[in-house]
Structure 1
Amino acid sequence: FAFGNGGKGSNQAIGAARLGARCKLLAGVGADKFGDEAVQLWRAEGVDCSAVRQMVGTPTMAGIIILDAAGENRIITDPGANARLTGTDVETFAATWTSPGILLTQLEIPVETAARALAIGKARGLTTILNPAPGRALPKEILADVDI
């Protein structure tokens, strides 16, 4: 058993920051040890955490990765605080977005929340990127707001 930090949004934010981008993360974490550690990691990596919401009574997202004999993985997740992110959170966060810029989102948050972020980003002239993982059904209208 090994413990490590991760999550799609976290990994994408850290990757962008390591490449020299000014990166701001909207995420939900629990008011728990894992949430504290995640915020510490993001800050150490140069990610702006001013839009990270620490939520009392909801745990930080957790996942278990199981590898089979062939090296194929199966991932089981509990979205925790990320499941509580809403369009209102996005609207508050979006007040700081400037163009040119890039909005990168993924689906470890509610689809409706990702869709709202993409719509606002597109309307503000940002290049919008959707990492459509984990795989799930998407309303086809969401694609109108996705550049990549």
Structure 2
Amino acid sequence: MTENFTHINAEGHAHMVDVTDKGNTQREARAQAFIEMAPETLQMIIQGEHHKGDVFATARIAGIQAAKKTSDLIPLCHPLMLTKVEVDIEAELDNQRVKVTSLCKLSGKTGVEMEALTAASVAVLTIYDMCKAVQKDMLISQICLLEKTGGKSGDYHIK
């Protein structure tokens, strides 16, 4: 059984997939990530008492910026003309964690899954960075693609 790897050329070298002849379709992807922390750290953020400023606002901007820079970070990703990037941040007090959800959209030839995953990842990394002076043992987890629509491979929704 021979597998056809799209990011490997005939010589076995990594390459960027040629999407020249693909048609534009509406594409959307959602991803999420969590960061767990001590109740005191979470309260400090929620109450706006962090000495570095608004942690959630900074993380939201970092996530949006990261989605736009995904092709600079992931070697074989195409640079994309994103039409929407949204990063939502929600404190889950009962679970002592923060949930980050990202949404990326475009009309294009290739998907936006990596952009959504990068946005969620960088947003939680930014929360960690801003709070590490207060707590170093925060736990980042469950970075995953929630859903994607559009493109040849069809729709995907997490089970």
Specify if TM > 0.5: no
Normalising by structure 1, we get a TM-score of 0.30
Structure number with larger C-alpha Rg: 2
Whose RCO is larger (CA < 8 A, sep 6+)? 2
Normalising by structure 2, we get a TM-score of 0.29
Higher helix share: 1
